[in-house]
């Protein structure tokens, strides 16, 4: 599983430009699904089983990034805008990678003055993409992702884009385990959806849900933790198990969905913790208001340093999330 994680988190795929990640995932699930389609927005939809309750599982493929929007005369420095929730405090000195392979370095005026202690506004930053030839290898309108390699430190897994490639890993691993344990007939008609454009407003999940018309949905995403110094108070911690969402800024999870997940975790002896997130949301918020409404919940992977190039999860929590999802889907999903 580690090599799958490495492959996905190091892949290039900002919101709206998920095609490279989609092809990596399609190759991983080719033998695990009964039907694979790509909808007009670019969501990868993988059906497993036929008949029974229709359950949608959503994990988003995209990641935050930037887009070059202006070239400074003479210097060639690139100004840029954000793609998703970019944090200005994380930018100075970081690297970005464009789809053509060019790596740029983010800088700001007065790097050893005010910018050293106070984050400038986003429009003051620029990207150095110079290659010494005097030409500019990046065009206006080119998107880029933040760049950092995957690292492992004991049970801690560290990388950019754990949000939400690690949710994609949970979905893929659940598909593998369900196939391995498959009986004559699947308990549910499951749609594993690897969604697009979550980071820019949950844009992919809603249309996918509209087409699928599920009876029930589960999003897979990361969540913040409350276990760092002077952090916002929150019960979720690394190593505490799968996080079962109760509430976030856009989603009140139906109690029946929470109880269903808790009962499964307790029956299987899976460590879990309840998640109440005051900032942020997931694809489940978009799915729940599709058509006449879809009961929707979320299994969250605890993650420190979200929306940085060093998002950190624990492999034990990852395993708990995979086991919980697999257990929920192994029998008819009836609330």
Active site residues: 198
Could you tell me how many residues make up the chain?
335
Helix (H, G, I), strand (E, B) or coil at 219: strand
CA gap 45, 50 in Å, rounded: 14
Q: How far apart, in whole angstroms, are the C-alpha atoms of residue 317 and residue 244?
A: 12
Cα-flanking dihedrals φ and ψ of residue 258, to 5°? -60, -45
Q: 10 CB contacts (<8 Å, ≥6 apart)? A: 149, 150, 159
- Would you state the structure tokens that stand for residue 42, as one six-digit string? 């670019």
Cα 248 to Cα 224: distance, rounded to the nearest angstrom: 11
For residue 103, the Cα-to-chain-centroid distance in whole angstroms is 23
Decide: 5 and 165 in contact? Cβ < 8 Å: yes
* Alpha-helical runs (H) found in 141-218: 162-180, 205-212
Q: How far apart are CA 115 and CA 319, in angstroms?
A: 41
First-residue to last-residue Cα distance in the chain: 31
Beta-strand runs (E) in 2-83: 35-38, 44-48, 54-60, 65-71, 78-83
CB atoms under 10 Å from CB of 2, counted, come to 11
Distance of alpha carbon 231 from alpha carbon 313, whole angstroms: 17
- Cβ atoms of 204 and 194 within 8 Å: the answer is no
Pair of tokens at residue 159: 């990388």
Give residue 308's Cα distance to chain centre. 13
């Amino acid at each position: 599983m580690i090599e799958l994680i490495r492959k996905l988190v190091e892949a290039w795929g900002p919101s709206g430009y998920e095609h490279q990640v989609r092809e990596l995932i399609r190759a991983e699930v080719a033998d695990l699904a009964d039907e694979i389609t790509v909808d007009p927005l670019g969501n990868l939809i993988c059906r497993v089983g036929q008949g029974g309750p229709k359950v949608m599982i959503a994990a988003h493929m995209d990641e935050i990034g930037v887009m070059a929007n202006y070239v400074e005369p003479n210097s060639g420095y690139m100004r840029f805008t954000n793609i998703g929730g970019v944090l200005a405090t994380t930018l100075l000195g970081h690297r970005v990678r464009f789809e053509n392979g060019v790596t740029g370095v983010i800088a700001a005026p007065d790097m050893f003055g005010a910018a050293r202690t106070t984050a400038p506004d986003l429009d003051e930053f620029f990207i150095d993409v110079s290659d010494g030839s005097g030409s500019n290898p990046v065009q206006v309108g080119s998107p880029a992702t933040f760049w950092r390699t995957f690292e492992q430190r004991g049970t801690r897994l560290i990388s950019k884009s754990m949000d939400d490639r690690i949710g994609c890993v949970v979905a893929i691993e659940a598909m593998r385990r369900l196939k391995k344990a498959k009986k004559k007939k699947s308990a549910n008609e499951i749609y594993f959806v690897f969604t697009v454009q979550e980071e820019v407003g949950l844009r992919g999940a809603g249309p996918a849900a509209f087409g699928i018309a599920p009876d029930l949905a589960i999003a897979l995403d990361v969540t913040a933790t409350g276990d760092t110094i002077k952090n916002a108070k929150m019960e979720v911690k690394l190593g505490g198990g799968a996080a079962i969402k109760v509430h976030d800024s856009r989603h009140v999870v139906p109690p029946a969905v929470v109880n269903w997940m808790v009962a499964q975790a307790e029956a299987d002896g899976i460590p879990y913790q309840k998640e109440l997130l005051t900032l942020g949301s997931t694809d489940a918020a978009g799915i729940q208001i599709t058509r006449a409404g879809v009961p929707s919940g979320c299994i969250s992977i605890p993650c420190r340093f979200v929306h940085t190039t060093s998002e950190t999860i624990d492999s034990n929590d990852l395993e708990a999330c995979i086991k919980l999802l697999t257990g929920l889907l192994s029998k008819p999903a009836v609330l």
